Amino acid sequence: MEQEKLIVRDKKQSQLQEIWRRFRRNKTALVGLAIVIFLFLVAFFAPLLAPMDPNKAFFKDKLQLPSSTYLLGTDNMGRDILSRIIFGSRISLYIGFIAVGIGGIGGTILGVFAGFYGGKLDNVIMRTMDILLAFPAIILAIAIVGVLGTSLGNLMIAVGISHMPRYARIVRSSTFAVRGQEFVDAARLVGAHDFQIIIENILPNCLAPIIVQSTLGVAQAILAVASMSFLGLGIQPPTAEWGAMLSAGRQYLRITPHLAIFPGLAIATVVLGLNLLGDGLRDALDPKLR
């Protein structure tokens, strides 16, 4: 038994190395990784990096162009845009991960059960996912927020729920692929519980597509929340979220476009980075594309 475990471990290690090697070859994926790491660092060290309190309003200094005091200028209430963008990274990460977490965990559980047990359970679960998918994502999110209210938590729940079907689908097909294989039957013979089988055998197989979908999902969640803020349903003032900043800045587009340009660039950069990373992971993890 020990011998087998060792062999498996080695196999896994060399697999990881192989994946990393493939990943490294892809220049754009590395750029994506760099951006994402940068994002994490900025978010983590935000209080140290930001020159000012992002919510402190100096009314007299409103709508200033970038200068030596305010590196990216000020918004319409006289708040420093650079500080707000830096702190905004925290919120974007927070939103992205929790929304994806809710959607991902929920969707994975549903997908695994659908794939593993098949039959009626599969039918019911997949029909429910179909029902969710029949709503255009943004409409579903708006409707849920309409019911629950516009707090940050509710936004993430709304976005998370609209992501669930995707994970369910992906995990279900991965589960199908593995379920039929012999080692699953073998494990059953040995007396392993269904639960054990799922955790030890099925889930690791789904890991790759889940990771890829999650990376892309964070990007989509950030964009979704920004869109909701644009429609007025998102984050509430004075919280410095990039989408809300963009939305508030658009009425000053003609006189001080930098209010909208900088948060827009921030969103685009982060989303781009995540997308590049996700793409790179997909290429690296997909054995067919060697």
> Interface residues with another protein (CB under 8 A)?
25-28, 55, 57, 59, 62, 76-78, 127-128, 130-131, 133-139, 142-144, 146-147, 149-150, 219, 223, 226-227, 230-233, 236-238, 243, 246-248, 250-255, 257, 260, 264, 267-269, 271-272, 275-276, 279, 282, 286, 288-289
**Nearer of residues 197 and 262 to another protein, judged by Cβ:** 262
**Nearer of residues 107 and 197 to another protein, judged by Cβ:** 107
CA distances from 3 to 9, 184, 200, 204 (A): 10, 20, 18, 21
CA distances from 110 to 9, 142, 168, 214 (A): 29, 23, 6, 16
**Nearer of residues 72 and 276 to another protein, judged by Cβ:** 276
**Which has the closest alpha carbon to 217: 287, 123, 137, 140?**
137
DSSP 3-state of 262: helix
C-beta of 18: minimal distance to another protein in Å?
A: 16
If one counts every other C-beta atom within 10 angstroms of the C-beta of residue 113, the result is: 20
If one counts every other C-beta atom within 10 angstroms of the C-beta of residue 241, the result is: 28
C-beta of 244: minimal distance to another protein in Å?
A: 9
End-to-end CA distance of the chain: 32
> Distance between CA 243 and CA 81 in Å, rounded?
13
C-beta of 255: minimal distance to another protein in Å?
A: 5
**Nearer of residues 187 and 223 to another protein, judged by Cβ:** 223
**Nearer of residues 158 and 197 to another protein, judged by Cβ:** 158
C-beta of 266: minimal distance to another protein in Å?
A: 10
C-beta of 200: minimal distance to another protein in Å?
A: 29
